[in-house]
Structure formats: C-alpha cells, structure tokens
Structure 1
Amino acid sequence: MAASPPFKIFNPCGEYVASCKHVEDAAMILAAYGDGAKLRHSGYGRRVLWNEGAEDQPASESYDHVATVVLKRMEG
C-alpha cells in the first residue's frame, strides 16, 4: 500500500482537509481556503511550513513562490 502524501493542508479552523505529494498542488488549496490555512509536512510534526495570510505574499500570487519558501524552511 502506498504511503499517504506528505504535505498536509489545514483549513482556517485547524481541521485537516487534504494531503498532496507536491507543494505547488498544496498551494492551490491553500489559496482557495485563504487566510488562516496552514501547510505542514508529515515528517516535520506540527511545524507550520506555510501560514496563508501571514506570509510576504498570498499563495494565489505564485505557487512556485510557495514551493520555494516551503522547501527552504524544510532545509533549515
């Protein structure tokens, strides 16, 4: 059986709503939920890697930007 996709998306109320294999796909969902939506990675526990509305630009502006920021945060 395949493993669950690692990127977990939570709505502004904190409820788990989706998982994705790729950050760019997760960014589309984050943009749809808007401010307060959060992205976590299953290998990083409860650490929030993206907090929509608290970042320097919204996910809807550039999914690639979300991926760059998230991957950089995962390195550090």
Structure 2
Amino acid sequence: MTLEERLAKAAQYLREADGLLITAVAGMGVDSGLPDFRGAEGFWRAYPALQRQQLTFEDMTTARAQS
C-alpha cells in the first residue's frame, strides 16, 4: 500500500469515526504548553482540595505527609 493510499484510508477512518481521542506521552504535553500533573497547576486541577490548603505535589510526596 502506498503512502497516498494509507493517508486516504486514515482520512476515511477519521471521517467515519464517532469520536477521536488524542493522547500525549510523557513530556510531549509539557512541550506543547499543557500543565504537568506533577507541576502545581496540573496537580491542583486533579486535587482542588489540596490547592485550597496550599499543598504542592512535593508536599504530598514527603514521608511526613504519608503519616
């Protein structure tokens, strides 16, 4: 199958799809400007209660926080 045929097939799949899920592997999202889960913004979006308490990802990963 030629590249042109493969691209046409991929375009057909996209046209017929009910939805599209795009994911990024580690590092790609950050390079694109998305917040890192371990960064303050990403962590706080996942755990807003910790943001209200002003706790960072680093705060939560200490031995003291585990007790």
* Larger-gyration structure (1/2): 2
Could you say which TM-score interval applies, normalised by the shorter chain? under 0.3
Structure showing greater relative contact order (alpha-carbon pairs closer than 8 Å, 6 or more residues apart): 1
Instruction: Please give the TM-score of this superposition, normalised by the length of structure 1.
Output: 0.22
Instruction: Please give the TM-score of this superposition, normalised by the length of structure 2.
Output: 0.23
